[in-house]
Amino acid sequence: MKYNMVLIDQEYQKKIEEYYLKYYKDKLELRFDLEDSENILIADNENEKADLYLGRVNDTFKKEISKYQNMDDFFGFLICLTEEDFKIKKGFKVISLLNAVSSAGATTLGLNLSDILSRKGKTMYLSLEKNPSLYFYLEQKINISINDFIFYMNQEPSVIEKKLLNITENLLIIDQSDHFEDIKDIDCTLIRKIIKIAEKTGFNYLVIDFDNLYDLFQEIKSEKYILINHSINNYSRLYFHIKNLDTIKLIINNRDRDLYINESLLRVIDKFYYIDKDYECFKDDKKWKSKIIQTQLEMILKDS
């Protein structure tokens, strides 16, 4: 195994390097300050590219690798690792979005959220909007649609499974249906089948935009977020959607800092977050991708 170490704690990294050159350079290949290397990257901070973190629990090994441990124990640990240790499957997570009212910006948030997650693992984005809007955001269809799920999951699930297994990109955006009537065929049973086959075919994340389908949103086990638009007075609608939810997380989208919001209206919310309005979004070829939105979504994910 080949390793590359890039630590913020330069003093500690220097001690590791000195010990490595003195005792382990013939037993292990370890390089320093080459972050773009293809080697296994070791870090001591929230570096998204890192494969091993010192001082916190690692996704790969589900345990904490002590930062200031005995040097021989540390190098012995690295020597014993194999490529198979880094092929352990990541967890699977479903994130659900619900519009308290229309025009809450769920499609923009859902696409940006999926884009973020696709850097961490294979991600599928599924929209159940009654009035399809993805064609406005995307240049072309992916050729896997919600209609495929509706038909094949009940008739021949191996067909859709094969299609999903052939996807090589880290982000799969499922095409919406062109017909409003098709949404009526979507129920909890179908959604659970989609969740199951997404996990089976190697996806790590599934983001579902439930539009305003509250009953489906409530029934599906997932990390749930309700969306409202900051500039629209729809807080009365919000109470209808949250009445039977145990944990309530609210995203107030398109915040305009010049507008005042009475946060006492949100006293029944467990957690609420703001997403600032990105005035550059949708200009020219930028369409849905937004650095402002993605930065704030990253903070929400870390808080969750």
| pLDDT tens-place string over residues 70-116 | 899 889 888 888 776 665 445 799 999 988 766 778 888 999 999 99
Indicate if 197 and 277 belong to the same structural domain: yes
pLDDT above 80 for 286: no
Q: What is the DSSP letter of 22?
A: I
State the CATH number of the domain containing residue 78. Answer: 3.40.50.10850
User: Is 292 in contact with 278 (CB distance < 8 Å)?
Assistant: yes
Pick the range with the lowest mean pLDDT from 35-39, 48-52, 160-164, 283-287.
Answer: 283-287
Rounded to an integer, the average pLDDT of 2-14 is 89
Indicate if 163 and 23 belong to the same structural domain: no
Of 44-53, 136-145, 287-296, the range with the highest mean pLDDT is 287-296
- pLDDT of 130 reads 80
Indicate if 140 and 158 belong to the same structural domain: yes
Indicate if 61 and 146 belong to the same structural domain: no
Indicate if 14 and 112 belong to the same structural domain: no
Indicate if 150 and 264 belong to the same structural domain: yes
Indicate if 59 and 100 belong to the same structural domain: no
Domain that holds residue 200: 93-303
Indicate if 16 and 33 belong to the same structural domain: yes
Among 86, 120, 136, identify where a domain stops. 86
Indicate if 187 and 54 belong to the same structural domain: no
| pLDDT tens-place string over residues 133-168 | 777 777 666 678 888 898 888 888 899 999 999 888
Using left for φ > 0, alpha for ψ between -120 and 50, and beta otherwise, residue 188 falls in alpha
